[in-house]
Amino acid sequence: MQVQESARSSKEAPYTRIAVIRLKGLADTPPDVERALDLLRLRRRYTCAVIDERPSYVGMLNVIKDWVTWGEIDADTLTELLRRRGRLIGNKPLTDDWVRKYGWSSIDEFALAYIMGEVNQLACPENKPWPKSGNKVLCIPKLKPVFRLHPPSGGLRGIKKGFNEGGDLGYRGIAINELILRML
């Protein structure tokens, strides 16, 4: 009985939110890696995408582990990322006023709802109806799904080794938040 309850609760539990940052450029990229980076919309160096931890995304991360770094993003870092680097179509900055138009009180509230799993996606799909719950739209309309970041202040340790070996590539856990804040 207890096994069934834990299996049921694991299905209902939201996926962990992961920030993926591309650190290497385009030269000498194998076709399968290029395809996976393109699916994640990481087409340039120092771009960031926020995804969830679905098995299909985990498989892509294993393919591109030598070109990117990733880890679990927290609500405060996501709020700063949306405030400072979030862009709408037309390269307009994302503001609290824009988020209020769609039922949220601020970017902080939306970021917390996304991290907690109440919202499934950051950017609304263009050609589909927007998901709603009451008077709230469960995504941000016209938000670009990729964030353009600066090179990190203080530099990188190296893009030839993994994070555990003293470099910057691959999985870094919650240390991704510190890197993102250095890149804003």
Q: Average pLDDT, stretch 72-93?
A: 93
pLDDT surpassing 50 at residue 77 = yes
CB-CB contact of 41 with 147 (8 Å): no
In the numeric block, the tokens 């993994």 are attached to 162
- CB-based burial label for 172 (10 Å; 0-12, 13-18, 19+): buried
DSSP state of 124: P
Coil, helix or strand at residue 51: strand
Q: How many CB atoms lie within 10 A of CB 159?
A: 15
* Mean pLDDT for the stretch of residues 80-89: 94
Average pLDDT on 32-41 reads: 94
pLDDT tens, residue by residue, 42-64: 999 999 999 988 899 999 999 99
pLDDT of residue 14: 66
What mean pLDDT is reported for the chain? 87
Residue 97 has pLDDT above 90, yes or no: yes
Give CA angle at 110 (109, 111), nearest 5°: 95
**Rounded to an integer, what distance in angstroms lies between the CA atom of residue 117 and that of residue 102?**
18
